[in-house]
Amino acid sequence: MLLQVDPIDSFSGTFRVPSSKPETQRAILTGTLAEGTSRIYNDLRCDETETMKNACRAFGAKIAERDGFLEIQGVGRSQSHIRRVIQSRGSGLVFRVVTALASVQRTPVVVTGDATLRNRVMEPLLQALRALGADIESIVGANKAPVVNWGRGLRGGTCRLPGDISSQFITAILFAAPLAEGPVEIEVTGEVYSPSYVRQTLASLTAAGIKVAASEDLRHYQVEPSSYQAQDVTTREDYTSASYLLAAAALFPGRTVLRRVYGDSMQGESAIVPILRRLGVSLAFDRAGSSLTVDNPPGSLRGAFEVDARDCPNIVPTLAALGAYVRGSLRVTGGRLTRFHKAPRIEAMAAELTRAGVDIEVLYDDGVPDGFEVRGAGTYPGGVTLSSWGDHRIFMSLFVAGLRMRSANRFSGSEDVRLSFPTFLEEFAGAGVRATAVEEENASTEAVG
């Protein structure tokens, strides 16, 4: 099944931005590991937060969905009701954190995932856990998922992790470290990519009563054994989800208002706001009303500058879609770790935009795709079929890019929006975007949203 999306000539309206997926997932974890009752207000409910909830239920947490909040009865350090097999599906964060937490156990635990997750890099995390005393191995023998923890517990000590593959390795060890038998020290080799995600983890741990001594460059950490404290948390907006609405607003004349968007976010992907301003888009925060307004006059995006994406990897696909319409050029670097995501995002966006007629060139650093340069145009013919490569962020970015083309395009992967932005199609339908489900052989059609 494909989704056929018609082009539009204007974009405006008031939209609700989904809550932060990283904040929701981290709050679910701290609530699970605490003794007592925690509440998460304004939580995001999507497939990947559901996967995190189910994994935490496997540790014995009782999680109830209330109207407007989650209620979690945590298990503290005991985790006595752990299941023998925990499913992570396609979530790298769930697999990595749950693998680290399972290493604390004194009973065998298998942590597994779907086919996409089984291809993702896990070796640095497994090596770090072994250095801390865990008896853990890859079932397939390639240091990838699924893994089995044989139940020796986590002794403590010093471990080393690379900083340029995934910040989730650091996050995973940090969540498990307070539950180890002794102090844990983490040393990170090389530069830390996606540092804002590590800072979000540190903020979550601090709020839950965990003290972490972290160096300013986020390359050294010390954690003493301690206990998580129950708390109430209110999550904020998700800037990666907001980026698709903001990019669409930037491509067309009109006024767009995004509710629940704050200007003081810790999220690295909030960089989308200054990037759009550099392209000539007018954006204003209304702090009292918790909203962001885009007033975009008729005209084209213009600029010739470079974006460093080391701390905003999840908007790399959005920037590629946006760059397709920048008169001049948009150069994005520092996105090398996106090759470890659900799809190799730089190559995926370059391949699909090239198919649509966009002048985009992949940039390499030491032979690794690190970014791209896009030389944009006012519009493109459209009428093409584009693949999401099985990645929800590729789909949403290509969807936005297609809105300004002259003919309708077809896209695979529309069902994957449920992973992070379940109301994506409904929000765009509210702006007048017409999307129709079609068979690949064009046998039938069905309106969506």
Instruction: Dig out the tokens for 41 from the structure.
Output: 């207000």
The confidence score (pLDDT) of residue 444 equals 42
Residues 148 and 249 in one domain: no
Query: Residue 149 belongs to what domain range?
Result: 21-234
**Residue 7 pLDDT exceeds 90:** yes
Residues 218 and 366 in one domain: no
Strand order in the sheet with 326-333: 301-308, 326-333, 368-375, 359-365
Residues 197 and 283 in one domain: no
Distance CA 243, CA 420 (A): 13
The confidence score (pLDDT) of residue 370 equals 98
Residues 10 and 25 in one domain: no
pLDDT tens per residue, range 332-366: 999 999 999 999 999 999 999 999 999 999 999 99
**Residue numbers belonging to the annotated binding site for phosphoenolpyruvate:** 21, 92, 120, 168, 345, 393
**Residue 436 pLDDT exceeds 50:** yes
Residues 280 and 157 in one domain: no
Reduce the DSSP state of residue 129 to 3 states and report it: helix
Q: Which residues contact 1 (CB under 8 A, 6 or more apart)?
A: 414, 415, 437, 438, 439, 440
Higher pLDDT, 261 or 434: 434
Instruction: Dig out the tokens for 275 from the structure.
Output: 């990037």
Instruction: Dig out the tokens for 109 from the structure.
Output: 């635990």
Q: Which residues contact 115 (CB under 8 A, 6 or more apart)?
A: none
Residues 230 and 316 in one domain: no
Looking at 234, 256, 290, the residue that finishes a domain is: 234
Q: Which residues contact 367 (CB under 8 A, 6 or more apart)?
A: none
Place of tokens 């996967």: 51
**Alpha carbon separation from 142 to 99, 119, 121, 125 (Å, rounded):** 16, 10, 10, 13
What whole-number percentage of the chain has pLDDT above 70? 97
Q: Of all helices (H) and strands (E), which one includes residue 269?
A: none
Is the separation of the CB atoms in 71 and 87 below 8 Å? no
Residues 79 and 140 in one domain: yes
DSSP state, residue 149: E
The confidence score (pLDDT) of residue 448 equals 58
**Residue 81 pLDDT exceeds 70:** no
Residues 202 and 246 in one domain: no
Residues 186 and 155 in one domain: yes
Distance CA 397, CA 298 (A): 22
Residues 255 and 216 in one domain: no
Distance CA 349, CA 5 (A): 18
The confidence score (pLDDT) of residue 287 equals 74
Of 373, 399, 431, 418, which Cα lies nearest the Cα of 249? 431
Strand order in the sheet with 69-73: 62-66, 69-73, 37-41, 232-234
Largest CA distance in the chain: 64
Type of residue found at 431: A
pTM of the model: 0.94
Is the separation of the CB atoms in 233 and 26 below 8 Å? no
pLDDT tens per residue, range 208-264: 999 999 999 999 999 999 999 999 999 999 999 999 999 999 999 999 999 989 888
Looking at 234, 268, 294, the residue that finishes a domain is: 234
DSSP state, residue 237: B
Around Cβ 206, how many Cβ atoms within 10 Å? Answer: 11
**Residue numbers belonging to the annotated binding site:** 21, 26, 92, 120, 166-168, 194, 341, 345, 393
Q: Of all helices (H) and strands (E), which one includes residue 131?
A: helix 123-131
Say which CATH number the domain at 395 has: 3.65.10.10
**Alpha carbon separation from 447 to 2, 69, 248, 438 (Å, rounded):** 12, 32, 21, 9
Type of residue found at 13: G
DSSP state, residue 300: -
The confidence score (pLDDT) of residue 304 equals 85
Higher pLDDT, 125 or 105: 125
Residues 259 and 218 in one domain: no
* DSSP state string for 46-109: SHHHHHHHHHHHHTT-EEEEETTEEEEE--TTT-TT--SEEE-TT-HHHHHHHHHHHTT-SS-E
**Residue numbers belonging to the annotated binding site for 3-phosphoshikimate:** 21, 26, 166-168, 194, 341
pLDDT tens per residue, range 139-186: 998 899 999 999 999 999 999 999 999 999 999 999 999 999 999 999
The confidence score (pLDDT) of residue 361 equals 98
Looking at 234, 256, 274, the residue that finishes a domain is: 234
Instruction: Dig out the tokens for 320 from the structure.
Output: 């590629």
Reduce the DSSP state of residue 408 to 3 states and report it: coil
Q: Of all helices (H) and strands (E), which one includes residue 285?
A: strand 282-286
Distance CA 172, CA 184 (A): 13
Around Cβ 94, how many Cβ atoms within 10 Å? Answer: 28
Residues 27 and 8 in one domain: no
Minimum mean pLDDT among 68-82, 162-176, 327-341, 408-422: which range? 68-82
Is the separation of the CB atoms in 255 and 294 below 8 Å? yes
Count: domains in the chain? 2
**Would the CA dihedral through 388, 17, 309, 378 be positive or negative?**
positive
Reduce the DSSP state of residue 330 to 3 states and report it: strand
pLDDT tens per residue, range 301-323: 888 889 999 999 999 999 999 99
Minimum mean pLDDT among 9-13, 294-298, 438-442: which range? 438-442
Distance CA 425, CA 399 (A): 10
